[in-house]
Structure 1
Amino acid sequence: MKRNFSSFSKQSPATHAKRKMRIIACIATLGGLLFGIDTGVINGALPYMAARSELNLSPLQQGLTTSSLTLGAALGALIAGQLADRYGRRKLLFYLSFIFLGGTFCCSIASNALKLIVFRFILGLAVGGASGIVPTYLSEIATEKLRGQLVTQNDLMITSGQLLAFIVNAIMGNLLVNTSGIWRWMIAFGMIPAVLLLVGVFFIPESPRWLIQNQQLPMATKILCSLRANQAQIKTEISAIQKSLAQQKQQHFDWQLLKSPLVRKALLIGIGLGIVQQIIGINIIMYYGTTILLKTGLDHHAALIANIGNGIISVIAADMGLQLMGRWSRRKMLLNGIGITTCSLAAITWCSIQLSNLKIFPFLIIGLSMIFLFFFQSLVSPTTWVVMSEIFPQPIRGAGMGIATFCLWLGNFSVGLVFPVLLSSLGLAKTFLIFVLTNILAFIFCDRVVPETNGKSLEKVQFELRRQAKKKA
């Protein structure tokens, strides 16, 4: 696979380097776009595939169909993280693109619920792998100044993928009203970005930090020269990476590393953040938004169209998060975001108890859902992905990110599985009340445990975490 290191002679070195990193990020974050499409498409497709004339899914089968992808993603994140440490970030993205393509095709032609669940599990392997590898890759190619923005760009692509899925769902659901198997075309749409990722991987370099870790210094130096405007700082950067690696001689993850206070501290933060991001309840809106709106009294076609609003808000919010990253501290973004999402879900709970008989009730739920989505996608989601990509020591960054993302996807799986069952048995108000309580727990954890990483090199983050861990050991 050839690497493209072409330059633009008329640009200043700083402009050229910055533009090149953004192009690389656009290609790599096609994995995030696929993440968004494959998780978002189920929102509109589920009611169609659950119909008696299609797959006739029970509430439990709906939960399994939705969450089988996230269970596969949990396993994919765990495996891909360790493989990325051994074989490289870029090579793993290349192979994951094949799974995206084949898994999407198989899901679109599944003839029964069991096959669909299995194929979505396989597709989930790629989703989970990409969700861990892409932020890790971006954090390793970026400068300190651009790292937050580049990693957050992946979050923007995830929400863009979900919006794209919502729009495609709404168009097909309203134009192909009397067509059987609409959900199959909704799912098949994801094959397009999968092909783009497969081609795009040929034009991005390997992570220079991974190359240094694996004794490929000449290639790492060449890549850094093409990505850094200040050539004099390259030697300093390489020296800092080598020094950090020397402090941890173990080159691949081993459970014996848990004896290290730094590794234990980083895993606590990473696993906690992964679980926090899911128990807040984002995916009850992104997966079951159409189902929730149907519960409020909207008809199916109106619910599909209204759900586009959620997607638009998510993209606008993710773009705002991209702008705020680096200007606000990580902790400020995280804690303010969780505080507002808690209030939004509490308001949905109250409206469901007090105002459910009013004609305005569906629109109140839509409005409050949009408030929840805006602050989650602009403050909570980008911050969790960025901090998770920053906290692990270089020798095990891929594996550490994989373990944290594994726990994130387990949380995602649990929420996706139990929500339709809770909604069916407890109703809207009590179900949302449960997530109000999980938001409070998430706030307490982040306030007490999550460090500030903004404006610090990855090596400095490791140094500070090591010092804190030793003090508590």
Structure 2
Amino acid sequence: MSDATFHAQPVAVRPPMVGRMMLAVALAAIAGLMFGLDIGVISGALGFIKTEFQASDFELSWIVSSMMVGATVGALLAGRMSYALGRRKSLTYSAAMFVIGAILCAVAHSVAILIIGRAILGLAIGIASFVAPLYISEIADESRRGSLISMYQLMITTGILLAFVSNAVLSYSGSWRWMLGIVGVPGALFLIGSLFLPDSPRWLMLRGRDEEALKTLSTLRHTHQHAHAEIQNIRDQLNSQAKQRGLAMFLENPNFRRSVMLGIGLQVVQQFTGINVVMYYAPRIFAEVGFGQDGQMWGTATVGLVNCLATFIAIAFADRWGRRPMLIAGFAIMAAGLGILAMLMGMGDHASSLTHYLAISVLLCFIAGFAFSAGPLIWILCAEVQPLQGRDFGITCSTVTNWGTNIIVGATFLGLLSTLGSSNTFWLYAGLNALFIVVTLLFVPETKGVSLETIESRLNNGYRLRDIGR
């Protein structure tokens, strides 16, 4: 069946922005803010927790890692939850978990309660990291989909930055309970706001609620005609598919297997850029290139600021330049940045103060390269390439892969440093980023301005993965 059945090529002029669509996207993106806050706050609180509870290093490691374990479990549950309950209700439940987890952490009287609270926060993060990009992709129009999903990544980076700032302010008084409890404030706001979010029209269609889907989509699009045409495209696509879902569809449909493996591969690529190595161990990296305690603190704060600001590039240009060119540019910048950093680290005692500042400059280039490319764009692509019937299963696989790979990268970095040395470790990550340019050229499609139904049609018609978009 021809793609033209489902989608005419987009015109150059974008339709006007619809306020309700923008509001819904902004509310969903707050899940990213809470995600970022949770990642950032624990680094500032651990020292005070260790003192108050006389906690061992083993207990501290569990306080940190319990969130990742909870996130992995949450991502596994999110697919079934978002299909059965809907995207909107799933976001509401994750917001409630954010509030409960933050309160437990703030009032904890033992390490065990802290671990439980962090695990609940992890569940919330796992669900939100699955549902929020999916929900945004399904309510956004194709001309703005990339920019609007990038807002989720922007909120993550904003949350990390705010966490670094709040840690610095609260550290003077040792108020670690406020550091951990502050996540509950945006959590409560999001919980209230999520009650007013519209359901995803595509989810409503998947459940056979066509009239409700049309009514909802009409409030999210500029004209009723636009909404009606989009609903017809979704209906045609659903009618053209075998009524399979999840694992059965994965086992029996080779085209769906291709899209699932693409999503998994993209998340492996994102984590093996080395971004979380830098985010988790930034002070250690600054120490490796010769900075003292003050330099490490300010360097880490600067990393958070650049990470946040560079995400605006993705928001501004993801739907103008396209996904593939931005990914290739980002990988090239990251490979060059880490390669130069590795070379500087290899200088050892011959390094000068100028070398130290050059090291932080190329590290910030690496952060900027990730923040406008692999950070937001891989979440965008993972939400775009899965067919509607299998979208929950496909994004579950890619999100769980993200968290599993995150754990592997975080757990192996210090071992690589001790085994290979700092210079060789960063040469390894530089080489991986160069390899990812080739991966992008061979497998990643350009989905800018293409409807989700057209992408799905081309996938099911056997197009090569890199050709299922434009």
TM-score by length of 1: 0.88
Q: In 2, Cα distance between the equivalents of 1:287 and 1:252? A: 37
Partner of 1:453: 447
Partner of 1:10: none
Q: In 2, Cα distance between the equivalents of 1:48 and 1:299? A: 21
Root mean square deviation of aligned Cα? 2.5
Aligned 8 A contact 2:102 2:121 in 1? yes
Q: Which of residues 388, 400, 403 is equivalent to 1:394?
A: 388
- Give 1:329 deviation, angstroms: 1.9
Aligned 8 A contact 1:355 1:361 in 2? no
Cα 1:447–1:252 change in 2 (3 A) is: same
For residues 179-199 of structure 1, give each alpha carbon's deviation from its aligned partner in whole angstroms, at most 9, with x where no partner exists: 3xx444322221111111111
Q: In 1, Cα distance between the equivalents of 2:45 and 2:287? A: 14
Q: In 1, Cα distance between the equivalents of 2:323 and 2:117? A: 37
Q: Which of residues 113, 117, 120 is equivalent to 2:118?
A: 120
Provide the aligned length of Structure 1 versus Structure 2. Answer: 451
Instruction: Answer yes or no: is 1:253 the counterpart of 2:246.
Output: yes
- Give 1:124 deviation, angstroms: 1.4
Q: SS of the counterpart of 1:453?
A: coil
87-96 or 162-171, larger mean C-alpha shift: 162-171
- Give 1:463 deviation, angstroms: 1.5
For residues 328-381 of structure 1, give each alpha carbon's deviation from its aligned partner in whole angstroms, at most 9, with x where no partner exists: 121111121112111111111111111554334543332222111101101221
Partner of 1:134: 132
Structure 2, unpaired ranges of 5+? 1-14
Matched to 1:462, the amino acid is E
Partner of 2:369: 375
- Give 1:212 deviation, angstroms: 1.1
Instruction: Answer yes or no: is 1:276 the counterpart of 2:261.
Output: no
Cα 1:447–1:380 change in 2 (3 A) is: same
- Give 1:232 deviation, angstroms: 1.4
Matched to 1:245, the amino acid is L
Q: Which of residues 76, 82, 85 is equivalent to 2:83?
A: 85
- Give 1:123 deviation, angstroms: 1.7
Q: In 2, Cα distance between the equivalents of 1:287 and 1:120? A: 17
Q: In 1, Cα distance between the equivalents of 2:320 and 2:373? A: 12
Q: Which of residues 392, 399, 409 is equivalent to 1:415?
A: 409
Q: In 2, Cα distance between the equivalents of 1:66 and 1:262? A: 39
Q: Which of residues 97, 100, 104 is equivalent to 2:98?
A: 100
- Give 1:269 deviation, angstroms: 0.8
Instruction: Answer yes or no: is 1:432 the counterpart of 2:426.
Output: yes
- Give 1:23 deviation, angstroms: 1.1
Q: In 2, Cα distance between the equivalents of 1:419 and 1:113? A: 26
For residues 79-100 of structure 1, give each alpha carbon's deviation from its aligned partner in whole angstroms, at most 9, with x where no partner exists: 1022101210000011111111
Q: Which of residues 298, 310, 320 is equivalent to 1:305?
A: 298
Aligned 8 A contact 1:139 1:389 in 2? yes
Instruction: Answer yes or no: is 1:150 the counterpart of 2:144.
Output: no
Q: SS of the counterpart of 1:204?
A: coil
Partner of 1:315: 308
Q: In 1, Cα distance between the equivalents of 2:61 and 2:343? A: 26
Cα 1:156–1:471 change in 2 (3 A) is: closer
- Give 1:416 deviation, angstroms: 1.8
249-258 or 164-173, larger mean C-alpha shift: 249-258
Q: In 2, Cα distance between the equivalents of 1:71 and 1:362? A: 36
Q: In 1, Cα distance between the equivalents of 2:46 and 2:288? A: 14
Cα 1:111–1:471 change in 2 (3 A) is: closer
Q: In 1, Cα distance between the equivalents of 2:290 and 2:107? A: 32
Q: SS of the counterpart of 1:418?
A: helix
Aligned 8 A contact 2:32 2:152 in 1? yes
Q: SS of the counterpart of 2:346?
A: helix
Partner of 2:42: 42
Partner of 1:342: 335
Report the identity percentage.
34
Aligned 8 A contact 2:331 2:433 in 1? yes
For residues 295-322 of structure 1, give each alpha carbon's deviation from its aligned partner in whole angstroms, at most 9, with x where no partner exists: 4444445433332211111111101110
Q: In 2, Cα distance between the equivalents of 1:67 and 1:277? A: 20
Aligned 8 A contact 1:64 1:417 in 2? no
Aligned 8 A contact 1:209 1:241 in 2? yes
Partner of 2:8: none
Structure 1, unpaired ranges of 5+? 1-13
Aligned 8 A contact 2:34 2:183 in 1? yes
Query: Aligned ranges for residues 150-299 of structure 1 at < 5 Å?
Result: 150-173=148-171, 175-176=172-173, 179=174, 182-250=175-243, 252-299=245-292
Q: In 2, Cα distance between the equivalents of 1:323 and 1:333? A: 12
- Give 1:116 deviation, angstroms: 4.2
423-432 or 145-154, larger mean C-alpha shift: 423-432
Aligned 8 A contact 1:44 1:290 in 2? no
For residues 261-299 of structure 1, give each alpha carbon's deviation from its aligned partner in whole angstroms, at most 9, with x where no partner exists: 221111111000111111111111222223333444444
- Give 1:114 deviation, angstroms: 5.8
Q: In 2, Cα distance between the equivalents of 1:37 and 1:216? A: 37
Cα 1:190–1:54 change in 2 (3 A) is: farther
Instruction: Answer yes or no: is 1:462 the counterpart of 2:456.
Output: yes
Partner of 2:320: 327
Aligned 8 A contact 2:71 2:122 in 1? yes
Greater relative CO, 1 or 2 (CA 8 Å, sep 6+):
1
Q: In 1, Cα distance between the equivalents of 2:76 and 2:177? A: 29
Aligned 8 A contact 1:72 1:125 in 2? yes
